[in-house]
A and B are shown apart, each in its own frame.
Chain A
């Protein structure tokens, strides 16, 4: 199944583009609740138009670019990070309601909610009599 999430952040889905500068694998947390998975991804500096969330062939991919960059006239005196892009992928087996995935971005953190399908929510294994 190939599907692009329908404007998860109410922004047009952009085409693939080349990315100048470094690309980081962002830190992520994954929580499982009774009815959904929650994925939290740190994307400091990324704004909503730059965030792409896709679901294709059981792979959830997240890409973003930093919109908050230093003024080129500033002289660097101490550098611990280079603003750049972010890319990370997670393979997801079946059991997710792809149509209902929700995404939001606040304070540089992307929050994804992946609802489980009914089948995954309550799975009973039938024991056959001999």
Chain B
């Protein structure tokens, strides 16, 4: 499976530049040493997993803070595209002390090995995780062949 495209319009550690602010805040909020991350590698947003079952592919994506109405899913042939936007309203008069969460528009596309029955695809959005069930076209589903005693 090939990943076709990935847009990451946001920076990596956008708050690093505010040296003065950071010094000012160090006595208020600070990262606490005891909880160093076990896994902290930054994956693209949203992070996507793809699973296969006998009759479908299941795509899951971590989309915290993305409203269901801001997600757009399209299936064309064997390509599944996930588009969306995480909106953050700029706030007058508030100062930003830490800004790690990804914001902005994203687009991720995946090429699946077999065609999908697009009209039977189902999407569920729960606790900030999207689950997309993509049924395989009938001729590409796994079939159990019964072995008869001769």
Q: Check B73 for interface membership: any CB of A closer than 8 A.
A: no
Q: In the complex, A92 Cα to B29 Cα: how many Å?
A: 5
- The answer to whether residues A68 and B126 also contact, given A27-B101, A45-B62, A78-B49 and a CB cut-off of 8 A, is yes
Residue from B40, B50, B94 in contact with A78 in the complex, judged by beta carbons closer than 8 Å: B50
Q: Check B44 for interface membership: any CB of A closer than 8 A.
A: yes
Residue from A30, A75, A78, A81 in contact with B29 in the complex, judged by beta carbons closer than 8 Å: A30
Residue from B30, B32, B38, B57 in contact with A23 in the complex, judged by beta carbons closer than 8 Å: B38
Contacts of B131 in A (CB 8 A): 68
Residue from B49, B67, B99, B126 in contact with A70 in the complex, judged by beta carbons closer than 8 Å: B49
Check A75–B52 contact: CB distance below 8 A: yes
Contacts of B52 in A (CB 8 A): 74-75, 77
Contacts of B38 in A (CB 8 A): 22-24
**B108 CB to closest chain A CB, in angstroms?**
10
Q: In the complex, A59 Cα to B126 Cα: how many Å?
A: 30
Contacts of B67 in A (CB 8 A): 107
Contacts of B102 in A (CB 8 A): 27
Give 9 new A-B contacts, CB below 8 A, not counting A23-B38, A74-B52, A107-B128: A22-B38, A29-B100, A37-B29, A45-B62, A80-B44, A80-B48, A90-B29, A107-B63, A108-B65
